[in-house]
């Protein structure tokens, strides 16, 4: 069995940093717009900019600046733009904080199975976070991709000669880490994070869907892996 992990909000904190930054920017823009309106407009602008900027802190910072300009009718002073830029830099430089149970789970599963890290985002920042996490040596394969959809997973699995039926993906995003993998015949384990990005929310049937499993925390993942193997996917046992 090949087991893959998402990175942001699966192995380490990420969305909480974005949320903190958005709250600080809302304070900066309080004279022009309420926080709720900022969030609504930011979601629209981020969705519009995804094809241009991709995922990650840099695109988020640019979208925050665009949101500030639009909501203030371009009256926001340069000092506020400078502060948003400083917040963006702070996001990039933020220490990598591992989630509970991550290291022990990787050690346990890595002793028996090849492990992959499949993460999306801006290449340089993701490479930096992986290096600073101290986890890189746990993975046989590291893939940084611009999107996580069925075609991306097919390409990654094909490039490493991995059968989807013998593949399990673990992550916090149902949209990116679970449903695309289930759709190509793999299995996926959803490990919920404390908050979910608005643009990452998606309707789903949860564990009622074949191949869709849930672990409350990373420490519970090894038990769910055993559950998957016990349900008839005998080829996953070795």
Residues 79 and 116 in one domain: no
Q: What is the pLDDT of residues 12-43, one digit of tens each?
A: 999 999 999 999 999 999 999 888 889 999 99
The fraction of the chain above a pLDDT of 70, given in percent, is: 92
8 Å CB contact between 55 and 120 = yes
Residues 59 and 174 in one domain: no
Number of folded domains in the chain?
Answer: 2
Question: For position 234, what pLDDT does the model report?
Answer: 40
Residues 204 and 134 in one domain: yes
Last residue of a domain, one of 93, 111, 129: 93
Mean confidence (pLDDT) of the chain: 90
Distance linking the first and last C-alpha atoms of the chain: 6
Last residue of a domain, one of 40, 71, 93: 93
Residues 230 and 128 in one domain: yes
What pTM did the predictor assign? 0.88
Residues 134 and 41 in one domain: no
pLDDT exceeds 80 at position 237: no
Element (H, E) at 212: strand 212-214
Tokens read off for 220: 């519970």
Residues 191 and 163 in one domain: yes
Q: Domain of 51: which CATH number?
A: 1.10.150.240
Q: What is the pLDDT of residues 72-110, one digit of tens each?
A: 999 999 999 999 999 999 999 999 999 999 999 999 999
CA 34 to CA 131: how far, in whole Å? 38
Tokens read off for 234: 């005998």
Q: Which domain holds residue 67?
A: 15-93
Element (H, E) at 144: strand 141-145
Q: Which region among 149-153, 160-164, 209-213 has the lowest average model confidence (pLDDT)?
A: 209-213
Residues 125 and 140 in one domain: yes
Last residue of a domain, one of 36, 65, 93: 93
Residues 26 and 75 in one domain: yes
In this prediction, residue 235 has a pLDDT band, given cuts at 50, 70 and 90, of very low
């Amino acid at each position: 069995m090949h087991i893959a992990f998402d990175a942001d909000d699966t192995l380490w904190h990420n969305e909480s940093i974005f949320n903190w930054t958005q709250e600080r920017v809302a304070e900066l823009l309080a004279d022009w717009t309420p926080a709720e309106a900022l969030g609504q407009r930011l979601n629209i602008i981020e969705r519009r900019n995804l094809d241009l900027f991709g995922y990650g802190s840099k695109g988020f910072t640019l979208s925050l600046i665009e949101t500030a300009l639009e909501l203030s009718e371009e009256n926001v002073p340069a000092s506020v733009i400078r502060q948003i830029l400083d917040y963006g830099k702070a996001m990039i430089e933020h220490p990598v904080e591992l989630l509970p149970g991550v290291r022990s789970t990787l050690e346990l599963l890595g002793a028996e199975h090849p492990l992959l890290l499949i993460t999306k985002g801006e290449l340089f920042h993701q490479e930096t976070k992986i290096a600073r996490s101290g986890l890189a040596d746990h993975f046989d394969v590291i893939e940084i991709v611009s999107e996580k959809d069925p075609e991306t997973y097919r390409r990654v699995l094909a490039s490493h000669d991995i059968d989807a039926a013998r593949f399990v993906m673990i992550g916090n995003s149902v949209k990116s880490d679970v449903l695309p993998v289930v759709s190509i015949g793999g299995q996926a384990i959803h490990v919920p994070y404390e908050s979910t990005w608005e643009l990452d929310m998606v309707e789903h049937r949860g564990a009622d869907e074949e191949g869709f499993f849930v672990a409350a925390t990373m420490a519970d993942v090894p038990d769910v892996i055993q559950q998957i193997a016990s349900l008839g996917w005998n080829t996953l046992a070795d």
